[in-house]
Amino acid sequence: MKHVRLVLLVWLAVVVGAGPAAAQADADRKEWVPIFNGKNLDGWDVKITGHDLNDNAGNTFRVENGVLKTAYDAYGQSFGNCFGHLFYRQKLSHYIVAVEYRFVGEQAPGAPDWAFRNSGIMVHSQSARSMTKDQDFPVSIEVQLLGGPEKGERTTANLCTPGTHVEMDGKLVTQHCVNSTSTTYRGDQWVRVEVEVLGGAAIRHIVEGQTVLAYQKPQIGGGNVTNADPSVLKEGTVLEEGYIALQSESHPIEFRKVELLNLAGCTDPKALNFKSYFVKSDNATCRYR
């Protein structure tokens, strides 16, 4: 009987001692959610310049063998400036989006030289539905994905600003593109890029776990967008939320992973779904049993 009591006391001590630690581990565990299902384009909208919403001309955006691809084999001899974007349908404000990408094959004929091994992740974007038929790029913040040439250096996860500006060190940045501090990635190697978006406060670019660029106050302004509806070009408006989109810019690219970490949610430590990494409170979502 004494032996049984001793075993029960030891078990109780372990359970009581492990309880807070286990709860903390669960609160710290990041819940990444895949937003590309590996099968089809469900949950996404296609918008290609010169084409109506969800006219996936040339089967540009496609899923093959569990990989999301842009391809141009049906374009013939001219890319025709048919820049395209694949929009995730949910509007977001505080989150991290991550992709694992690689460039493959040859650039489409007739495409501009600057689009060689060039694509992007658009964040805080206008919706696909608010773009005009002939608009080339959405008003958004672009995290530019680039592949290296055979010789020379070329960073990835740069910043480009179609119809937007940002601030750095308290100063408005109006140049269209700003290079990151990343290394050069050549050939068909897979690269992981994460973009941390904190509403209208700040955005950070991360490549293979290293921060390579950071800035603040994304806002509407400037050019580098053609044929946009003037009603969306409200100069100086800080972008607090928007859509995510993946680019088609004439060079084939593959995404084997597209996932999302929500940074807004229950911030009450007493709740079952509390997460320590949430930066924006949405305590209406808290669950207690």
- Helix (H) / strand (E) element for 5: namely helix 2-28
> What is residue 22's predicted lDDT score, i.e. its pLDDT?
67
Q: What tens digit of pLDDT does each residue of 4-24 get?
A: 555 454 444 444 555 667 667
Strand partners for 173: 166
What is the dotted CATH code of the domain comprising 33-264? 2.60.120.560
Strand partners for 214: 204
Q: What tens digit of pLDDT does each residue of 98-122 get?
A: 999 999 999 999 999 999 999 999 9
CA dihedral of 84, 60, 41, 95, whole degrees rounded to 10: -40
| C-alpha distances out from residue 106 to 65, 133, 251, 257, Å | 20, 27, 6, 22
CB 182 within 8 A of CB 171: no
Length of the chain measured in residues:
289
> What is residue 142's predicted lDDT score, i.e. its pLDDT?
98
Low-confidence ranges of the chain (pLDDT < 50): 7, 9-15
Reading phi first (left if > 0) and then psi (alpha if -120 to 50, else beta), residue 73 is in alpha
- Helix (H) / strand (E) element for 241: namely none
Question: Up-side HSE of residue 177: CA atoms within 13 Å toward CB?
Answer: 14
- Cα separation, 31 vs 8, in Å, equals 35
> What is residue 122's predicted lDDT score, i.e. its pLDDT?
98
In the chain, domain spans: 33-264
